[in-house]
Amino acid sequence: MDQNRRNFLKSTALVTGAAMMTNNPYKALAESIPDKFRTGKMNLTYRPYTLQLKHVFTIATNSRTTTPIILTEIEFNGIVGYGEASMPPYLGETHESVQAFLSKIDLSRYENPFDLETILNDIDIIAQGNPAAKASVDIALHDLVGRLMNQPWYNIWGYDKNKTPFTSFTIGIDTPDIVRQKTKEAEEFQVLKVKFGLDTDKEMIETIRSVTNKPITGDVNQGWTNKERALEMLHWLKERGVVMVEQPLPKERIDDLAWLTERSPLPIIGDEGVQRLADVKNAIGVYHGINIKLMKSTGMREAQKMLTLARSLGMKVMLGCMTETSCAISAASHLSPMVDWADLDGALLIKNDIFDGTKIINGKVTLMDRPGIGVVKV
Ligand code: MG
């Protein structure tokens, strides 16, 4: 056991009694933080930024070459926590909507950042929706708290950083020549992901299979319409080494999804149909598992609760992302030791990342030994 871990366990043991009384482990842990970090004023700042994608990104519903994001910072006693909102256009949030939401938040009225539950609940009820805007504050606050504790979040949550999964890498829909080329370029990755829902579904699989036998995960993005044909397709995909499929039918078609899940030879994962904690119980029987993304869940706090609840219900868990910088990817990656599948290639798809954090090494999600979410600005 390394020294950091031992010290952390020691400090945890000392405050266990207090944690049980307050029912807030983070606040109790704050008791072990030097006085100068116990009170002060938190200051939230934010700015718009636009991610440039390396390739045109095509899914069943649209194509694009950029993603708007908002970068957040929360400063407290000279320590800065970093956060991010990523807003793929089809989800409805924009530079304008996120900035309008963030302008309504006043963190200066809280004594310190450790009362995450109160602060994030207060922010959640400012307005409905706005999940990416809420996530941008949640991530910066978690980063700040982890930095003040001098601990990475996988330690605070008690997850084993050595148990991180391989991430899938998305091979975009394209002509056979380009798909073959992209598949060869993805040599480092152990799991490939394919977007379905266009009339190219079978051709994509056959093209990739002409190059490699690696396991493939599929994402239909609600793009199939007929449940019987979907079931036939799932059997066809299974024979060709596809191991799991996300959101095969539109999210509203609960009965058809349940019908398909009951018969499917492959695990069916709800993505568009499962946004937040309250959606997890409704996913029982409709999907075999859920895809958790920070930009849907409103951030790390609720994502971790979704993970815990889904696990307790015997559901599969996938951890996904949008196109994001290494900031939001690193934040999500602290949950990755506990999931069945990770799809955390978002920062690899952009040209202008501005953070260094969790890395993908030989296809494996690799957590940095740094406090907070583990990022530095580059
Ligand atoms: Mg998906």
User: Over the stretch 312-349, which tens digit does the pLDDT of each residue have?
Assistant: 999 999 999 999 999 999 999 999 999 999 999 999 99
Predicted pLDDT of residue 11: 47
At residue 224, does pLDDT exceed 60? yes
| Ligand 1 centre distance from Cα of residue 218 (Å) | 9
Taken in order of first residue, the domains within the chain and their CATH numbers are 32-154 (3.30.390.10), 155-377 (3.20.20.120)
| Ligand 1 centre distance from Cα of residue 328 (Å) | 17
Average pLDDT over residues 56-72: 84
Predicted pLDDT of residue 246: 98
| Ligand 1 centre distance from Cα of residue 140 (Å) | 25
| Ligand 1 centre distance from Cα of residue 156 (Å) | 28
| Ligand 1 centre distance from Cα of residue 288 (Å) | 14
- Beta-strand ranges (E) seen in the chain are 43-59, 62-76, 79-86, 168-171, 191-195, 216-219, 242-246, 268-270, 289-292, 316-319, 341-342, 355-356, 359-361, 364-366, 376-377
Q: State whether residue 298 is helix, strand or coil.
A: coil
| Ligand 1 centre distance from Cα of residue 319 (Å) | 10
Cβ–Cβ < 8 Å for 260, 233 = no
Predicted pLDDT of residue 25: 61
Q: What's phi and psi for 375, nearest 5 deg?
A: -115, 155
Predicted pLDDT of residue 57: 74
| Ligand 1 centre distance from Cα of residue 271 (Å) | 5
| Ligand 1 centre distance from Cα of residue 23 (Å) | 35
| Interval 267-298: pLDDT, tens | 999 999 999 999 999 999 999 999 999 999 99
Cβ–Cβ < 8 Å for 208, 196 = no
At residue 105, does pLDDT exceed 50? yes
Least confident of 59-63, 340-344, 348-352: 59-63
At residue 61, does pLDDT exceed 70? no
Distance in angstroms (rounded) separating the CA atoms of residues 155 and 136:
22
Helical pair 326-333 and 131-149, crossing angle rounded to 10 deg:
70
At residue 6, does pLDDT exceed 90? no
Least confident of 18-27, 101-110, 322-331: 18-27
Predicted pLDDT of residue 30: 61
Confidence of residue 243 (pLDDT cuts 50, 70, 90): very high
% of residues, the chain, pLDDT over 70 = 90
| Ligand 1 centre distance from Cα of residue 63 (Å) | 15
Confidence of residue 103 (pLDDT cuts 50, 70, 90): very high
Predicted pLDDT of residue 198: 85
| Interval 170-180: pLDDT, tens | 998 889 999 99
| Ligand 1 centre distance from Cα of residue 103 (Å) | 30
| Ligand 1 centre distance from Cα of residue 220 (Å) | 7
Give me the sign of the Cα torsion angle 172, 175, 180, 184: negative
| Ligand 1 centre distance from Cα of residue 62 (Å) | 14
| Ligand 1 centre distance from Cα of residue 318 (Å) | 10
At residue 227, does pLDDT exceed 50? yes
| Ligand 1 centre distance from Cα of residue 310 (Å) | 17
Mean model confidence pLDDT for the chain: 92
The bridge status of strand 289-292 relative to strand 316-319 is: parallel
At residue 29, does pLDDT exceed 80? no
Predicted pLDDT of residue 64: 85
Predicted pLDDT of residue 12: 44
| Ligand 1 centre distance from Cα of residue 299 (Å) | 17
Cα 362 to its chain centre, rounded Å, is: 20
Between residues 333 and 15, the one the model is more confident about: 333
| Ligand 1 centre distance from Cα of residue 320 (Å) | 7
Least confident of 6-15, 153-162, 352-361: 6-15
Confidence of residue 20 (pLDDT cuts 50, 70, 90): very low
Between residues 224 and 20, the one the model is more confident about: 224
Distance in angstroms (rounded) separating the CA atoms of residues 299 and 276:
10
Predicted pLDDT of residue 63: 80
| Ligand 1 centre distance from Cα of residue 322 (Å) | 9
